[in-house]
């Protein structure tokens, strides 16, 4: 069995309490014999399925996120080693945030950085990983549906830059480079296959097309 399968079995059989990891939906940390994991159930089954799918979408594109699996409404991710980026990103951090920006805008990841810049982990090798995408796609971070705010137009290409000082310096040329770095429309369309909700998949298809019109 894979470490994830072993972890799910261990949790079912032993029901460890874990430790509270912060956040609005009760993430728990587990130090298990087969590895260290974060477990989340979200605010609802639909919310956690959405987060899992958004994590898979970014992973499919090659954006650095923790490896994840889901069973019986529980999403497990491998716990990332490193430290939170915080409010003082390095020059290297800024280069990667710029490179990774368009995929996050495309999935409407309103909390790309996190309120306390705690959704971004700086790994020991200096690269960044985005370990919480609960505010992406059709749901807000606390689990409320976004409704019409998650639509066919990717306004996040502008609003994420407007609301986050760390992202304000991303230029229109940078948008094009980020788009190209992750394969452009073909790759972003192909990655939609991992999305399970057909309505979300349809909206995301329109969003990919909108990004292509804007930055290609």
- Complete DSSP assignment for 176-209: HHHHHHTTHHHHHHHGGGG---HHHHHHHHHHHH
Dihedral in degrees, nearest 10, Cα atoms 170, 172, 174, 177? 160
Three-class SS of residue 139? strand
What pLDDT digit, counting tens, does each position of 19-71 carry? 998 777 789 999 999 999 999 999 999 999 999 999 999 999 999 999 999 99
Q: What percent of the chain has pLDDT over 90?
A: 95
Residue with tokens 């499919």: 60
Domain 3-78 sits in CATH at: 3.30.200.20
Residue 162 has a pLDDT of 97
Distance CA 108, CA 45 (A): 20
Question: Residue 75: its pLDDT value, please?
Answer: 98
- Predicted pLDDT at 22: 76
Dist. CA 102–CA 216, nearest whole Å: 12
Do 41 and 48 form a contact (C-beta atoms < 8 A)? yes
Listed in sequence order, the DSSP H helices in 107-193 are 156-163, 172-181, 184-190
CA distance 72 to 169: 42
- How do residues 79-138 score in pLDDT, each as one tens digit? 999 999 999 999 999 999 999 999 999 999 999 999 999 999 999 999 999 999 999 999
User: And the tokens for 202?
Assistant: 């349809």
Domain chopping of the chain, boundaries? 3-78, 83-215
Task: Flag whether pLDDT at 216 surpasses 90.
Answer: no
Burial class (CB in 10 A: 0-12, 13-18, 19+), 144: exposed
Residue 209's nearest CA partner among 149, 151, 141 is 151
| pLDDT for 142 | 92
Q: Say what the pLDDT of residue 26 is.
A: 80
pLDDT above 90: residue 196:
yes
CA dist., res. 205 & res. 207, Å (int): 5
What pLDDT digit, counting tens, does each position of 173-189 carry?
Answer: 999 999 999 999 999 99
Cβ-proximal residues to 30 (8 Å cutoff; 6+ apart), any chain = 7, 11, 16, 18, 36, 37, 38, 39
């Amino acid at each position: 069995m894979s470490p994830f399968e072993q972890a799910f079995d261990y949790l079912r059989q032993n029901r460890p309490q874990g430790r509270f990891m912060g956040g609005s939906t009760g993430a728990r940390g587990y130090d298990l014999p087969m590895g260290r994991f974060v477990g989340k159930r979200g605010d609802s089954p639909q919310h956690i399925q959405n987060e899992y799918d958004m994590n898979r979408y970014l992973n499919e594109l090659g954006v650095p996120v923790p490896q994840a699996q889901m069973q019986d409404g529980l999403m497990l991710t491998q716990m990332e080693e490193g430290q939170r980026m915080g409010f003082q990103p390095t020059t290297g951090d800024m280069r990667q945030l710029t490179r990774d920006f368009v995929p996050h805008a495309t999935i409407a990841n309103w909390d790309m950085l996190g309120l306390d810049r705690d959704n971004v982990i700086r790994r020991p090798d200096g690269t960044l990983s985005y370990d919480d995408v609960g505010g992406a796609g059709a749901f807000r971070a606390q689990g409320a549906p976004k409704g019409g705010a998650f639509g066919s137009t990717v306004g996040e290409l502008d609003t994420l830059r407007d609301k986050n000082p760390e992202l304000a310096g991303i230029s229109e040329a940078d948008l094009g480079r980020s788009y190209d770095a992750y394969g452009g429309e073909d790759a972003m369309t192909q990655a939609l296959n991992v999305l399970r909700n057909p309505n979300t998949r349809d909206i995301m298809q329109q969003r990919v097309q909108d990004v292509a019109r804007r930055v290609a």
